[in-house]
Structure 1
Amino acid sequence: MTAPGTSRRSLLVGAGLMGAAAAGLATASPASAAAPETAAPASAALPELHGPWRPDTEDQRFTLVVMPDTQYMFDGDAIHPAPIEASFRYLLANAEDDNIVFMAHLGDLTQNGQAGEFAAIGEAFTVLDTHQVPYSVLAGNHDINSGKDDQRGPSPYLDVFGPQRFRGASSFGGASPDGYNTWHSFRAAGREWLVLALDWRPSAAGIAWARKVVADHPTSPVILTTHEIVGANNYGDEAQLSDFGQQLWDELIDGSDQIFLTLNGHFWPPARTVKTNAAGHDTHLHITNYQDRYYGGAAMIRLYRFDLARNTIDVDTISPWILGQAADSLNELQRQEIELTGPQDRFSLDIDFTERFSGFAPVAPRPGRPVGRMLIPGTVAYWRFDGSHDTDRVQDLTGRGNDLVKQALPGAADSALTWSDQYHPDQPGHASLYFGGDKDGSGPHGAYLRTVDSAPLNAATFAAGYTFETYLKLPADWDGNRNAWSAILSRWGMSGEAGKTGGDPQEPVVTLSLSGGAELQWCVYPVDLTTSVTNWGHLLPLNAWWHVAVVNDGRHTTMYVDGCPVVRNPATVNHGLTSLGGPWLLGGYEYNGKIDQIMHGFIGDVRITDRALSPREFMNA
Structure 2
Amino acid sequence: MTTRRTFLLGTGVAAASTLVPAPAVAAPDGRTGGRPDTGGDRFTLAVIPDTQYLFDRDRGDAEPLDAALRYLVDHRQDDIAFIAHLGDLTENGLESEIEDIGRSFRTLDRRRVGYSVLAGNHDLDPRTDDQRGRTPYLDEFGPHRFRESPTFRGASPDGYNSYHVFRAAGREWLVLALDWRMSDRGFGWARGVLAKHPTLPVILTTHELVQPGEAGDAELSDYGRRLWDDLVKDSDQVFLTLNGHFWPPARAVLRNAAGNDVHVHITNYQDRYYGGSAMIRLYHFDLARNVIDVRTFSPWLLAKRSLNTLERREIELTGDADRFSVPIDFAERFAGFAPVPVRPARPARDLLVQGTVAYWRSDSLKDLSGNGNDLRQVGALTATDDHHADSPSHGSRFFDRNGYLSTVDNAPLNRMTFERGYTIETFIKLPKGFAHPWCGLFTKLAPGAAAGKTGDDPKEPICTLNVAGGGGLQWAVFPKNRNALSTNWGHEMDEDTWWHVAVVNDGRHTRLYVEGSELLRNPSTPATGISTAGDPWLVGAYAYDRIVEKSYHGWLGDLRVVDRALPREKFMTAR
Give the TM-score of the pair, scaled to structure 2. Answer: 0.90
Map of 1:341 onto structure 2: 318
Within 2, Cα distance between the matches of 1:267 and 1:216? 32
Asked if residue 291 in structure 1 is aligned to residue 247 in structure 2, the reply is no
Q: Which amino acid aligns with 2:359?
A: Y
Matched residue, 2:385: 421
Residue 603 of structure 1: aligned partner: 556
| 1:174-189 superposed matches below 5 A | 174-189=154-169
CA contact (8 A) 2:48 2:278 kept: yes
Q: Which has the higher contact order (CA 8 A, sep 6+)?
A: 2
Structure 2 contact 113–150 (Cα < 8 Å) conserved:
no
Q: Does residue 274 in structure 1 map to residue 253 in structure 2? A: yes
Choose the corresponding residue for 1:511, options 441, 453, 464: 464
Tell me what 1:474 maps to: 430
SS in 2 for 1:129: helix
Among 68, 71, 95, which residue is 1:90 paired with? Answer: 71
Could you tell which deviates more after superposition, 85-94 or 397-406? Answer: 397-406
- Partner of 2:288 in structure 1? 309
Partners of 1:57 and 1:505 lie apart in 2 by: 50
1:63 matched to 2:44: yes
What is the one-letter code of the residue matched to 1:600? H
Tell me, in whole angstroms, the C-alpha distance in 2 between the residues paired with 1:55 and 1:71: 32
CA contact (8 A) 2:33 2:150 kept: no
Write the distance in 2 (CA, Å) between the matches of 1:162 and 1:248: 22
Q: Is the 8 A contact 1:55 1:95 kept in 2?
A: no
| In 2: Cα distance, 1:298 partner to 1:55 partner | 30
Give 1:544 deviation, angstroms.
2.0
* Contact 2:38–2:168 (Cα < 8 Å) also in 1: yes
Residue 146, structure 1, aligned to residue 126, structure 2 = yes
One-letter identity of the residue aligned with 2:378: Q
What residue number does 2:198 align with? 218
Equivalent residue for 2:415, pick from 456, 459, 469: 459
Report 1:606-617 matches (<5 A): 606-617=559-570
> Partners in 2 of 1:468 and 1:59 — Cα distance?
28
Q: 2:37, 2:170 within 8 Å by CA — same for their partners in 1?
A: no
Tell me which of 551, 561, 582 is aligned to 2:535. 582
8 Å contact from structure 2 (residues 34, 150) kept in 1 = no
Letter in structure 2 aligned against 1:170: P
Q: In the alignment, which of 521, 526, 532 is matched to residue 568 of structure 1?
A: 521
**Residues 427-469 of structure 1, C-alpha deviation per residue, up to 9 Å, x if partnerless?**
21121111222xxxxxxxx211111222222222223322111
Q: Is it true that 1:591 corresponds to 2:544 in the alignment?
A: yes
Q: Secondary structure at the match of 1:305?
A: strand
Q: 1:212 to 1:612 in 2, by over 3 A?
A: same
SS at match of 1:508: coil
Helix, strand or coil for the counterpart of 2:191?
Answer: helix
Query: Percent of counterpart pairs with the same letter?
Result: 57
* Contact 1:383-1:605 within 8 A present in 2 as well: yes
d(CA) in 1 for partners of 2:486, 2:260: 49
Q: Which moved more, 1:514-523 or 1:160-169?
A: 160-169
- Residue 605 of structure 1 deviates from its aligned partner by 0.9
Residue aligned with 1:79, SS: coil
**Partner of residue 107, structure 2:** 127
Deviations 1:199-246 (A, max 9, x none): 111122211110110110112111100011122247x83222222222
- How many Å apart are 1:380 and its aligned residue? 1.3
Cα deviation 1:267-286 (Å, max 9, x = unaligned): 11112222232223222111
How do residues 495-574 of structure 1 correspond to structure 2 at under 5 angstroms?
Answer: 495-574=448-527
Matched residue of 1:573: which SS?
Answer: coil
- SS of structure 1 residue aligned to 2:342: coil
Corresponding position: 1:321 with 2:300: yes
Residue range with higher mean Cα deviation, 489-498 or 597-606 = 489-498
Are the structure 2 counterparts of residues 209 and 112 from structure 1 closer, same or farther at C-alpha, using a change threshold of 3 Å?
same
* CA distance, structure 1, for counterparts of residue 344 and residue 114 of structure 2: 37
CA shift for structure 1 position 367: 2.5
- How many residues are aligned here? 543
Shift of 1:497: 4.3
Q: Secondary structure of the residue that 1:159 maps to in structure 2?
A: helix
TM-score (norm 1): 0.84
Matches of 2:167 and 2:397 in 1, distance apart?
40
- Asked if the contact 1:474/1:544 (under 8 Å) is kept, the reply is yes
| Distance (whole Å) between structure 2 residues aligned to residue 273 and residue 487 of structure 1 | 48
- For the 8 Å contact 1:79–1:120, the answer to whether it is kept is no
**2:225 paired residue number:** 246
Which residue is equivalent to 1:19? none
Query: What is residue 433 of structure 1 aligned with on the other side?
Result: 397
Instruction: Return 114-123 or 282-291, whichever deviates more.
Output: 114-123
In the alignment, which residue of structure 2 is the partner of 1:261? 240
Counting only pairs closer than 5 Å after superposition, residues 26-37 of structure 1 correspond to structure 2 as none
Instruction: Give the partner amino acid of 1:264.
Output: N
Report the more deviating stretch, 177-186 or 456-465: 456-465
Partners of 2:42 and 2:433 lie apart in 1 by 32
Kindly indicate whether the alpha-carbon contact (under 8 Å) linking 2:428 and 2:499 is maintained by their aligned counterparts in 1: yes
* 1:618 matched to 2:571: yes
